[in-house]
């Protein structure tokens, strides 16, 4: 791809990727999907995101020092989500803007996100939200839309700070206390109610009343984003109450979504 005019005034440099396409079925982006690069260094990440044949790309890359690179125009479909699902949508690439945040990730020590980098993510997202009318509940983690495969940007990512600046949906998590909890292996109506609530929020999960591996993966993804103090895949009272508070905070016009496997 030749150089193009950046969509955002906060972009430091355009670094074109060869990996992109047209958005399918006339979809326009109304979602922001946040990732970490999960690689040891920036050079390797940019090579993977921009080189033909890797079949991976993102619209933006946010460096640790706060500089922002744009690799794919927002009008095009970047290849960042992979096999994914959210709230009835399976072609996440066609309805989202993908932002890669430079961070080595869980496999390489998982450092904290520098303040300058977080500030840059906020500035970038705020502009996208205004241009694309992205609602708060559509600012998501890669782990939200692909809980069985992904854990980025992870529990260290400061979702609370983003929400305080007008980016994303956040509810103060309910305190972690001793009490009844649902664990892997549990069955019954309480598990079914949990699964149905997670499906209403947007996750891909079948409400079959069995606390199986996919259910644990979805609960873990929920905790990484919305209750990061303890990420263990166990639906304790803090997890359950935080989920209910988030459901109550969704727009009233949000249609119910059938659970899927």
Q: What is the pLDDT of residues 67-120, one digit of tens each?
A: 999 999 999 999 999 999 999 999 999 999 999 999 999 999 999 999 999 999
DSSP H/E element including 145: helix 142-145
Mean pLDDT of 146-163: 98
Mean pLDDT of 4-20: 98
When mean pLDDT is compared across 9-13, 178-182, 245-249, the lowest value belongs to 178-182
DSSP H/E element including 240: helix 237-249
Q: End-to-end distance of the chain based on CA atoms, in angstroms?
A: 37
Mean pLDDT of 157-180: 97
Are the C-beta atoms of 113 and 157 separated by less than 8 Å?
A: yes
Give the distance from CA 66 to its chain's centroid.
Answer: 20
Q: Which of the four CATH numbers 3.40.80.10, 3.40.50.1000, 3.40.50.300, 3.10.110.10 does domain 13-164 have?
A: 3.40.80.10
Report d(CA 24, CA 156) in Å as an integer: 33
Coil, strand or helix: which one is 215? helix
Q: Which of the four CATH numbers 1.10.101.10, 3.30.420.40, 3.90.1410.10, 1.10.1060.10 does domain 171-261 have?
A: 1.10.101.10
Domain ranges of the chain: 13-164, 171-261
Single out the catalytic residue among 13, 89, 100, 217. Answer: 100
Is 100 one of the annotated active-site residues of the chain?
Answer: yes
Reported as a pLDDT band with limits 50, 70 and 90, residue 253 is low
Higher pLDDT, 161 or 253: 161
């Amino acid at each position: 791809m030749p150089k193009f005019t950046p969509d955002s005034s906060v972009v430091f440099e355009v670094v074109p990727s060869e990996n992109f396409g047209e958005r399918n079925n006339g979809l326009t982006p109304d979602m922001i999907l946040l990732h970490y690069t999960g690689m040891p260094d920036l050079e390797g990440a940019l090579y993977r995101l921009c080189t033909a044949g890797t079949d991976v790309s993102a619209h933006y890359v946010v460096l640790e020092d706060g500089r922002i690179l744009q690799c794919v125009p927002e009008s095009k479909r970047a290849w960042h989500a992979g096999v994914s699902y959210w709230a009835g949508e399976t072609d996440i690439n066609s309805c989202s803007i993908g932002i890669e945040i430079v961070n080595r990730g869980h496999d390489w020590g998982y450092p904290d996100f520098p303040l300058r980098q977080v500030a840059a993510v906020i500035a970038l997202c705020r502009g996208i939200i205004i241009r694309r009318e992205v609602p708060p509940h559509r600012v998501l983690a890669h782990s939200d839309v692909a809980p069985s495969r992904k854990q980025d940007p992870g529990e260290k990512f400061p979702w609370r700070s983003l929400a305080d600046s007008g980016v994303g949906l956040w509810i103060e998590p309910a305190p972690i206390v001793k009490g009844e909890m649902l664990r892997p292996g549990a069955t019954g109506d309480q598990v079914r109610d949990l699964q149905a609530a997670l499906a209403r929020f947007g996750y891909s999960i079948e409400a079959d009343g069995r606390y199986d591996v996919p259910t644990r993966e979805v609960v873990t993804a929920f905790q990484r984003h919305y209750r990061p103090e303890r990420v263990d895949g166990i639906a304790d009272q803090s997890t359950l109450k935080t989920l209910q508070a988030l459901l109550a905070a969704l727009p009233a016009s949000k249609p119910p979504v059938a659970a899927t496997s």
